[in-house]
Amino acid sequence: MDTALLEEVLACPSLPSLPAVAARVLEMTQNPDVSLTELAQLIQNDQGLTAKILRTVNSSFYGLTTKCGSIQKALVLLGLSPVKSLVLGFSLVESVGKGEKGSIFDYQSHWRRGLYSGVAAKLLFEVGEIDGDRDEAFVAGLLQDIGSVALFRALPEKYSPLLKDAEGNHARLLKLELEQLEIQHPDVGSLLASRWKLPEELAMAVRYHERPSAAPVEWANLAKAVALGNIATEILTVENPAPATKRFYDRLQSWFRIEPARADVILTELQRTVKELASIFSISLGETTDPEVILEKARKQIAELATTEATKTDARVEFAGLVIGADRLDPLTGLMTKSAFESVIQHSHKTAIDNDECASLLLVHIDQYATIMKERGIDAADEVLVSTAAMLRRHFETFGGALCRWASDTFGVIVVGVPSNDVQATAKEFCKELSRASLHWKIAPSDDPIRATVSIGGVNMESDSFSIFKAPETLRIAALKAIHNSRTEGGNRVRFYSGKKAA
């Protein structure tokens, strides 16, 4: 991270600031014995803010059965958290503003994404009955990209070309920020939120909204809800909703065990609620489409894609065909042997290039394997291997990945046709989950838990790097370099090789 540039950004006098009313509300609500009468009086001193809050409180967003005519009554009916969140939301939208006409920074798109994501995140907490503050989820969605505003205002000449090149693609914008500036908008936004003395959970949600699997466990649900809100936004606002719909279903199921039927409820309610709130926030939505029409279109596209992919490249079926007919399975874990995996690497390399798809090769090393073998014996070491293999299956076989026992203490994973960002996020999530899960592994004869961590080294081969990885062995070499870096840096981490250096 370029700390000097970061300090330059944060020192910019034109950065948005937290309005006085919002700052005072934050200060007062930190006191559990705060006077609701005094708090209501403070908010009501701002007539414009009061009107917006009451319009929202009386909308379907909160679903009150009786009309609420005052801030005092809103505090009684809803509690502190919803009212505080609305104060923050409206105050910050007003403070940041909608920008000048013709500005290269599209403030309307910025707030449109924030509103959709915030409402979706709140709905996820409600429909999924997820632990956490649903009202803070709404504010987190609104604020997630505040760092982009800060970068644009502080570094207009440097940041404007990145916005232009990204063309509204947030994943591409993140990549450009890192390459050109060595700082990224989620980190800037998180520091800005901390400067405003917003709750820590909001600052963390802003920081991790683009990579929620890396969030500390106590903030993970909030970060994941905002990330899912962004996918829901994509479903309802792009021409081709199928890829985003599939990601939404898959991640809802994986992260929160929410099935597609309830996911559809979230999307339907999201569109209806956002249309109602947009006028209150003075945000233009442009043309909107009935979510049922969007979902029907997405389902048809997903079905067509599944049919095409079945004839084109069903990785697991084809991988199985490469293994059947020989004694090429590891008897302990049931995974492929390394010799079987070698043919899969060759096949995957060719498939990726032929179909212009991404191929990812990962090596997963158990950091404490030798110590466990020495101190607890071979049975304990085998239990760790079997448990690790099971967790790897759960994380990567949903992608159609092929797994092998690469060495006594190392596994191999190869995935074709899955975006590199998803593979890297899954690798990081696996690394964290195994470390936590191993604390509960108690293996006889001792009841002491076995703490295990993994070092992961990987490589992503995409269309723009086909010329670098011309042969299958280049993938192996790159993955070996990456895992070497991961281990020499202390283990319990993920490193990816990107052509010239570990990322």
Residue that wins the pLDDT comparison between 280 and 314:
280
Residue extent(s) of CATH 3.30.70.270 domains in the chain: 315-497
- Binned at pLDDT 50, 70 and 90, residue 22 comes out as confident
| CA angle centred on 166, ends 220 and 300, rounded to 5° | 70
Alpha carbon distance 111, 280 (integer Å): 13
Q: Among the listed ranges 144-148, 279-283, 315-319, 444-448, which one has the minimum average pLDDT value?
A: 315-319
Q: What is the mean pLDDT of residues 164-191?
A: 87
What is the model's pLDDT at position 233? 92
What is the model's pLDDT at position 442? 63
3-state SS, residue 235: helix
Residue extent(s) of CATH 1.10.3210.10 domains in the chain: 105-311
Does the structure show a pLDDT above 50 at 207?
yes
Does the structure show a pLDDT above 50 at 321?
no
Alpha carbon distance 260, 250 (integer Å): 9
Place of tokens 């205002």: 153
- Binned at pLDDT 50, 70 and 90, residue 397 comes out as confident
Select from 282, 271, 269 the least CA-distant residue to 237: 271
Does the structure show a pLDDT above 70 at 319?
no
What is the model's pLDDT at position 117? 95
**Prior bond of 216 cis (ω within 30°):** no
Asked whether 300 and 289 are in contact (CB, 8 A), the reply is no
Q: What is the dotted CATH code of the domain comprising 105-311?
A: 1.10.3210.10
What is the model's pLDDT at position 183? 86
Q: What is the mean pLDDT of residues 103-132?
A: 90
What is the model's pLDDT at position 139? 92
Does the structure show a pLDDT above 70 at 324?
no
Stated pTM of the model: 0.62
What is the model's pLDDT at position 310? 43
Between helix 146-154 and helix 156-166 the angle, nearest 10°, is 130
Does the structure show a pLDDT above 80 at 304?
no
- Binned at pLDDT 50, 70 and 90, residue 305 comes out as low
For 491, phi and psi rounded to 5 degrees?
75, 180
What is the model's pLDDT at position 247? 84
Burial of 356 by CB count in 10 Å (0-12 exposed, 13-18 middle, 19+ buried)? exposed
Q: Among the listed ranges 148-157, 334-343, 361-370, 450-459, which one has the minimum average pLDDT value?
A: 334-343
Asked whether 54 and 74 are in contact (CB, 8 A), the reply is yes
Instruction: State what percent of residues in the chain have pLDDT above 90.
Output: 33
Select from 362, 364, 452, 443 the least CA-distant residue to 408: 364
Asked whether 233 and 117 are in contact (CB, 8 A), the reply is yes
The pLDDT mean for the chain works out to 85
- Binned at pLDDT 50, 70 and 90, residue 159 comes out as very high
**99-108, 302-311, 319-328, 419-428 — most confident range:** 419-428
- Reported residue count of the chain is 503
> For residue range 343-374, what is the model confidence (pLDDT) as tens digits?
899 999 998 898 888 999 999 999 999 998 88
Q: What is the mean pLDDT of residues 262-270?
A: 89
Alpha carbon distance 456, 366 (integer Å): 9
- Binned at pLDDT 50, 70 and 90, residue 312 comes out as very low
> For residue range 24-75, what is the model confidence (pLDDT) as tens digits?
888 898 888 888 899 899 998 888 889 989 999 998 888 888 898 899 998 8
Task: Tell the CATH topology of 315-497.
Answer: Alpha-Beta Plaits (3.30.70)
Strand-by-strand arrangement of the 359-366 sheet: 336-337, 402-407, 410-416, 359-366, 454-461, 493-497
Alpha carbon distance 352, 65 (integer Å): 56
Instruction: State what percent of residues in the chain have pLDDT above 70.
Output: 90
Spell out the alpha helix ranges (H) of 409-466. 420-438
Does the structure show a pLDDT above 80 at 503?
no
What is the model's pLDDT at position 224? 92
* Alpha-carbon distance values, 172 to 88, 334, 408 (Å): 29, 39, 39
